[in-house]
Amino acid sequence: MLRRFWLFFAQAVTVLLALIFIVVTLKPQWLQRQGQFGKQLASPIVALRQVAPGAGSATPATSYAEAAQKAMPAVVNVFSGKGGSLPPNPQANDPLFRYFFGNPKGGKQQQQQDEPATNLGSGVIVSSEGYILTNQHVVDGADQIEIALADGRRTTAKVVGVDPETDLAVLKINMTSLPIITLGRTEEARVGDVVLAIGNPFGVGQTVTMGIISALGRNHLGINTFENFIQTDAPINPGNSGGALVDAQGNLLGINTAIYSRSGGSLGIGFAIPVSTAKSVLESIITTGTVTRGWIGVEPQDVTPAIAESFGLEQKGTIVAGVLQGGPADKAGIKPGDVLLDVNGQEITDTTRLLNVIAQIKPGSDAKVRLMRKSKQMELDVMIGKRPPPPKQGNGDEGQQQDE
């Protein structure tokens, strides 16, 4: 009996092993399905959305050489042709740097013997006619302006016009076969987009740095009267002023203007004037030699929480702290204490917004101003005047923003 049982067991094991061998050899997918069943038993309790393998890791660009090569030829070095002794430190070359950070001592001069005495900054060729965009503070006070192109050519430039309130200047050179930069679309720029800063920092030669757009529409910085800056962490140093901030395709997004720094070098907070603003200023200067903006002659003040509570308002709008006698606002009946809410249907959120909205209205045209006076809303028609030129007190006049 025991022998018969043993023979039966041995035959069963032999048959089972034979079946397993056949399945492994001829139908391995049967075992894989069994494995999937085991995995299903270990599925999470909560349904979670997980990206498919490989789908969540977008391949980043490994090189921005094409963008740099597209834009670099149109970025020029702007320098003074006036002779004299060399400055004691390359950091002193940038007027905006000197304005904000003083004139640090020390440093080693690294200019070649054939270089001019003073490196002023950078510029961008935007037209085949030879028009160049740069910062107003770059060329302010220069007796003679010279331009060095990336291809080695040099020539003198004349100032077509300047706009101190945006810190922009338009230069013109007479040369042929000029490289031209392509203007990008600031309205399509997004925080996080990769950007390249191109210029001539410290006079060492054309340099490209990379970063991202850190913020858009930066204002209330006290740098210019009209502020709508692109903030970037692409390293910008003295000498980059007036240079190009371009997107990953090499299109111009802004004109590099200023940095925030306590050491004199880049701390990852730089500011560029949007190309949309630069284009408007360029066209106005070329057409009329100056920039014409609207003006109503009031001294605005932001609505603070205390003011909003006393007037029963939301914390928005601009309160009129003063009215220029005989100015457009005075003639229209606007009085100190009025809270301006909107102009031509455009909401006024603060003094910067009021400044920009009024400036865009053509002088001589009427604007409908909605305001709050003693808890009552009313509308007034204001004939927009021409904004007077700012007093010549150097770059960064702090009184301009407070007088619209």
- How confident is the prediction along the chain (404 residues), in pLDDT tens digits per residue? 667 777 777 777 787 777 777 766 766 666 565 555 454 445 555 555 444 565 444 456 678 889 999 999 999 999 875 543 334 444 445 555 444 444 444 333 333 334 444 777 899 999 989 999 999 888 888 888 999 999 889 999 999 999 888 889 999 999 988 999 999 888 888 998 999 999 988 878 889 999 999 998 877 777 777 778 899 988 888 888 889 999 998 999 999 987 765 555 566 788 999 988 888 889 889 888 888 888 888 888 887 777 777 666 666 678 888 888 888 888 888 888 888 888 888 888 888 888 888 888 888 888 899 888 887 888 988 998 888 877 665 433 333 334 55
Torsion of CA 127, 67, 193, 122, to 10 degrees: -50
Q: What CA–CA distances, in Å, run from 354 to 186, 220, 398?
A: 21, 13, 17
pLDDT in the model for residue 93: 53
State residue 168 phi and psi, 5-degree precision. Answer: -120, 150
The domain segmentation of the chain, as residue ranges, is 63-291, 294-386
pLDDT in the model for residue 267: 67
What tokens does 365 get? 């045209």
Give yes or no: 241 in active site: yes
Q: What angle do CA 81, 163, 218 make, to 5 degrees?
A: 115
Instruction: Name the active-site residue from 80, 94, 122, 137.
Output: 137
State residue 378 phi and psi, 5-degree precision. Answer: -150, 160
- Name the one residue in this structure whose structure tokens are 């053509």: 362
The count of other CB atoms within 10 Å of the CB of residue 264 is: 18
Question: CB of 132 within 8 A of CB of 172?
Answer: yes
**Residue 355: which region, alpha, beta or left (left: phi > 0; alpha: psi -120 to 50)?**
alpha
- Tell me the pTM: 0.66
Total residues belonging to the chain: 404
The count of other CB atoms within 10 Å of the CB of residue 39 is: 8
**341: helix, coil or strand?**
strand
Q: What CA–CA distances, in Å, run from 268 to 82, 122, 231, 236?
A: 33, 19, 9, 8
Radius of gyration of the chain (CA): 33
- Name the one residue in this structure whose structure tokens are 């006070």: 141
Tell me the fold of 63-291. Answer: Thrombin, subunit H (2.40.10)
pLDDT in the model for residue 201: 85
What is the DSSP-derived secondary structure letter of residue 388? P
Give yes or no: 128 in active site: no
Instruction: Name the active-site residue from 80, 122, 241, 266.
Output: 241
Query: Which ranges of 88-200 does DSSP label H, i.e. alpha helix?
Result: 95-101, 136-139
Q: Please list the helix, strand and coil fractions of the chain in percent, rounded to the nearest 5, in that order.
A: 25, 30, 45
Instruction: Name the active-site residue from 94, 140, 167, 342.
Output: 167
Same fold, 63-291 and 294-386: no
Report d(CA 234, CA 192) in Å as an integer: 12
pLDDT in the model for residue 107: 38
Tell me the fold of 294-386. Answer: Pdz3 Domain (2.30.42)
Q: Which residue in 133, 105, 104, 134 sits closest to 121, CA to CA?
A: 134
- DSSP H or E segment with residue 386: strand 385-386
Report d(CA 281, CA 166) in Å as an integer: 9
Report d(CA 311, CA 376) in Å as an integer: 10
Report d(CA 233, CA 238) in Å as an integer: 15
**243: helix, coil or strand?**
coil
Give yes or no: 167 in active site: yes
- Name the one residue in this structure whose structure tokens are 């990953």: 248
